[in-house]
Chain A
């Protein structure tokens, strides 16, 4: 067996490890509000997150992978397949190393940032500073700032709306039920739109963006009212008020988050792996080759395995720690996080699901919805992403040198 195949096998192993790590750690960030607000049990969270991460990864996930692969680091580097192969492997190893280190030390490091950093390191080693598309990199960095802000803004306004139109009213149950089609419909709208835009499945079905918008809108309205009927059917007791309604809606938004996360985070695990795969299979990396479905599935399954094996323990801690989140708050957090991530993922920006979820909580906090939130995490996160990118890049460079010497 040629050397390339060994590298491919190592690539699979570490790609799987990255996916596993996302499942074990990052999923807790997105499922936390549902479990904390007691909308779903830990077992349900594990199940929902596992299944929907795979679906999200396979059906919506391909776009971001392309950006990490060829957006920031120009494809010029790939002209020497041997060099590119070593580079992609060292990027994957460096990112894995960083994520493991962060997990061990409980640092708020994002897998997205680790992978972007290590890809940059590999790019610099393989082709010098000139191969880095600095404009693209700047756009990515800006998206890291914008995405939590976007999430904050959405959750802030959604919570304000909920307070104004539901919570402050006398009969919160009736008002929540009356407005439920809006919340359910909005969720469906973004999900359906994501499905229709730029997924292989959606491309087959719909031609233009306008018809996609129209179809999503109509389906969203339809599902909104079906959802309302179902809520009215399921919840007979009115005592729970708005929280009882949102408890059910939150089951839906938990699915929404899991879907968005699968779509977004799978790229972190299989981005470099996809490069290795193409180099080994075709001898070069073309500019427009899409990531094969089975790689996305591979990443999705890796995430699901992480959730299944370690997610339980993390979520248990979470259920105990997050007690101040009620269902209406949890809904805002999840809705804003998932919407941010899906929109960013469709734009091809590698954003962190974790940071979007953190932004969601801060938005509710700013809207005076939570008794106490530690805003300090924002500064820590910012510090760590300033550190993670160069650190992962450096690690990647060192590993590249070592591998170059060995292979």
Chain B
């Protein structure tokens, strides 16, 4: 076969980004259940959910490597490949932070969150769940924008990005509240370190989601 026309077409990295974003979304549910279990007194399934997240993370890693390995220098895309890589890094950062959270808990899983902090931690977790889930919608809507270049579609994506930013701000607030309370608690230093770090890792999920949103915003810039 002598068909140079074929050689121009390659698998779109956006397809990979979408797939990766769906993996991120998939782990949101497992993460939420794991956290709820951790906040309860008699938790048995935490380890199961943690394993599930780890598994999803390794699947997403395969997708990530596939995307990175298949954008040769000569590839022409609606956006620069630099942005694709940066975006992917942040989207992957979300997944890593989710995994880190559960790992961090597992190092000290017998010690539970003190009752007076449970509500604050639950709020913090809730505030990061939505950003995890919304990434795949954002990628899908952005792809739609690159199909039509319609202003309405662009606004739609920009709204999602704005929402991500707001949610990160919310998560920051909850993180602050928790840290303040933890440092004023009568507890041993190890507990305090564990709790503060826990709040920080959970908060970083929203940070990465926001960064992904910022990268997406750069892709949309005219």
A: residues with CB less than 8 A from B are 25-26, 28-29, 32, 36, 99, 102-103, 106-109, 163, 167-170, 172, 314, 317-318, 321-326, 354-355, 357-358, 361-362, 365-366, 368-381
Bound Cα distance from A379 to B4, whole angstroms: 12
Q: Are A373 and B4 in contact (CB under 8 A)?
A: no
Q: Are B74 and A321 in contact (CB under 8 A)?
A: no
Q: Which residue of the partner chain B has the closest CB to A101?
A: B2
Contacts A371-B12, A372-B12; is A361 near B5 (CB within 8 Å)?
yes
B: residues with CB less than 8 A from A are 1-15, 71-78, 143, 146-152
Q: Are B76 and A365 in contact (CB under 8 A)?
A: yes
In the complex, which of the residues A25, A29, A362, A372 contacts B11, with contact meaning CB atoms closer than 8 Å? A372
In the complex, which of the residues B1, B78, B148 contacts A371, with contact meaning CB atoms closer than 8 Å? B78
The 10 closest A-B pairs by CB, nearest first: A376-B74, A108-B4, A371-B12, A368-B78, A29-B5, A103-B2, A375-B74, A167-B148, A168-B150, A25-B2
The binding surface of chain A is classed by DSSP as helix
Residues of B within 8 A of A378 (CB): 74
In the complex, which of the residues A109, A370, A379 contacts B74, with contact meaning CB atoms closer than 8 Å? A379
Q: Are A25 and B76 in contact (CB under 8 A)?
A: no
Q: Are A380 and B7 in contact (CB under 8 A)?
A: yes
Bound Cα distance from A102 to B1, whole angstroms: 8
Bound Cα distance from A373 to B78, whole angstroms: 10
User: Shortest distance in angstroms between A249's beta carbon and chain B's nearest beta carbon?
Assistant: 18
In the complex, which of the residues A28, A108, A170, A372 contacts B77, with contact meaning CB atoms closer than 8 Å? A372
Q: Which residue of the partner chain A has the closest CB to B153?
A: A168
Contacts A168-B150, A170-B150, A362-B8; is A314 near B76 (CB within 8 Å)?
no
Bound Cα distance from A318 to B8, whole angstroms: 12
Bound Cα distance from A227 to B37, whole angstroms: 65
In the complex, which of the residues B14, B15, B75, B147 contacts A375, with contact meaning CB atoms closer than 8 Å? B75
Bound Cα distance from A368 to B75, whole angstroms: 12
Bound Cα distance from A371 to B17, whole angstroms: 12
Contacts A168-B150, A366-B76; is A322 near B4 (CB within 8 Å)?
no
Give 18 new A-B contacts, CB below 8 A, not counting A375-B74, A380-B7. Answer: A25-B1, A26-B2, A28-B1, A36-B9, A102-B2, A103-B2, A322-B6, A354-B4, A355-B4, A361-B9, A371-B13, A371-B143, A372-B11, A372-B71, A374-B75, A377-B8, A380-B4, A381-B4
Bound Cα distance from A45 to B84, whole angstroms: 36
Q: Are A374 and B2 in contact (CB under 8 A)?
A: no
Residues of B within 8 A of A32 (CB): 3, 5-6
Bound Cα distance from A29 to B7, whole angstroms: 11
Q: Are B12 and A324 in contact (CB under 8 A)?
A: yes
Q: Are B148 and A172 in contact (CB under 8 A)?
A: yes
Q: Which residue of the partner chain B has the closest CB to A310?
A: B1
Contacts A29-B4, A109-B2, A318-B3; is A374 near B151 (CB within 8 Å)?
no
Bound Cα distance from A346 to B8, whole angstroms: 28
Q: Are A377 and B7 in contact (CB under 8 A)?
A: yes
Residues of A within 8 A of B71 (CB): 372
List 17 A-B pairs, Cβ < 8 Å.
A25-B1, A29-B5, A102-B2, A167-B148, A167-B149, A167-B150, A314-B1, A317-B1, A318-B6, A322-B6, A361-B5, A362-B76, A366-B76, A368-B149, A374-B8, A374-B9, A380-B4
Q: Which residue of the partner chain B has the closest CB to A104?
A: B2
User: Shortest distance in angstroms between A339's beta carbon and chain B's nearest beta carbon?
Assistant: 17
Q: Are A108 and B7 in contact (CB under 8 A)?
A: yes
Residues of B within 8 A of A324 (CB): 9, 12
